Copies of this chain bind each other. A is one copy, B any other.
Amino acid sequence: MLTLLGLGLEPTDISLKGLELAKKADAVYLEKYTSIVLDETEIERVIGREIKQAYREDIEGSDGGDPLIIKEALDKDIVLLVVGTPLFATTHTELLIRAQELKIGINVLHNASIQSAMGCCGFNSYGFGKTVSIPFFIDNWRPYDFIKNIMTNFNNGLHTLCLLDIKINEPTIATLMGQENVRYNRFMTINEAISQIEEAADKCGNTELSNIKIVGIERLGQKTERFAYGTLSELKDKEYGPPLHSIIIPSAHGNAMEKECVERFFASR
């Protein structure tokens, strides 16, 4: 039996149903690489038991064989905790399908993801187009595709939720070359994202974004959640707190009532 259990945006977002399943499972793993790591000690306290860590190889497998999670679920009752909601990342969908193919019983417990919270500051959930990921640029790898997706939404009157890249337990180049064993976590900030958006817009000849107000969101759905509202250049040099950061780019062609709603939201804070 395999249960994919969405934790939501904070440890106490776990559902009653989920808590019960986690308490009685043979083993509980925490998925550690598709999203920010919530406070593990706090998760253990909430669930009241020890949780094990599951990294990429435990979930996707390596050498072409089935991953650890699948092997264990063949004859045990395994819970995989996923921050946010499961099935948001393709890798959980593949796990689900592989379990189905092996006739392992499955159970998916949906929870809040950042997409559940898109209406957070006055926007209409129906007004969003495709969600866009902004990847960390590296020296010679600077993919500008995301700006095309933003502009397609923008020109169709749709807002864009931008998810900013994260690296969890990522090996350094020297580690990959066997010269050391160092892994690191890195979370893209609103500042970094804006500078990448500006670079991409510039290279692709898009000038429309420079005058519109965007929303910078810190730690959406957590107690310390904060919003910033302003143009790219206004928000670029502001100071922000700890991760996770995200950005909403509103379409300038959205409807007037919604625009008023967003303005009222920020005016009343």
C-beta contact mask, A58-92 vs B, less than 8 Å → 1, else 0?
00000000000000000000000000011111101
Within 8 A of B (CB), among A76-122: 85-90, 92-94, 96-97, 100-101, 108-113, 115-120, 122
Q: Does A191 touch B at the CB level, under 8 Å?
A: no
CB-CB under 8 A from A8, the residues of chain B are 15, 110-111
Bound-complex Cα distance A156 to B87 (A): 22
Judge whether A124 and B13 touch: CB under 8 Å. no
With known contacts A88-B116, A94-B261, A129-B129, A16–B17 Cβ distance under 8 A = no
User: Judging by beta carbons under 8 Å apart, are A85 and B112 in contact?
Assistant: yes
Q: Which residues of B contact A6 (CB under 8 A)?
A: 112, 116
Name which residue of chain B comes closest to A8, CB basis: B15
Residues of the B chain whose Cβ atoms lie less than 8 Å from the Cβ of A20: 12
Give chain B residues whose Cβ lies under 8 Å from the Cβ of A127: 130
- Given A115-B125, A116-B6, A116-B85, verify A100-B130 contact (CB < 8 Å): no
Q: A112-B112, A116-B116 are in contact. Are A124 and B17 (CB under 8 A)?
A: no
Task: Give Cα A264–Cα B108 distance, bound, in whole angstroms.
Answer: 17
Q: Indicate how many identical chains form the complex.
A: 2
Contacts of A117 in B (CB 8 A): 85, 87, 108, 110
Q: Does A221 contact B (CB under 8 A)?
A: yes
CA gap between A130 and B88 in the complex, in Å: 16
> Given A12-B17, A16-B46 in contact, is the A120-B101 Cβ separation under 8 Å?
no
| Interface presence of A19 (CB below 8 A) | yes
Contact: A90 with B265, CB < 8 Å? no
Task: Judge whether B111 and A112 touch: CB under 8 Å.
Answer: yes
In the complex, what distance in Å separates the CA atom of A152 from the CA atom of B129?
Answer: 11
Interface 1/0s, chain A 155-178, versus B by CB < 8 A?
010100000000000000000000
Give the CA-CA distance A215 to B158 in the complex, in Å: 25
Q: Known contacts being A88-B116, A120-B87, A126-B130, is A269 close to B19, with CB within 8 Å?
A: no
Contact with B along A1-29 (1 / 0, CB 8 A): 00000101110111111011000000000
16 extra interface residue pairs, beta carbon distance < 8 Å, beyond A90-B261, A97-B264: A8-B111, A12-B15, A12-B16, A13-B16, A13-B109, A14-B15, A14-B16, A89-B119, A94-B261, A101-B264, A108-B120, A110-B221, A115-B125, A128-B130, A129-B130, A152-B156
Leading 10 A-B pairs by shortest Cβ distance: A87-B119, A110-B112, A12-B17, A100-B268, A85-B116, A101-B268, A110-B116, A13-B15, A12-B16, A110-B117
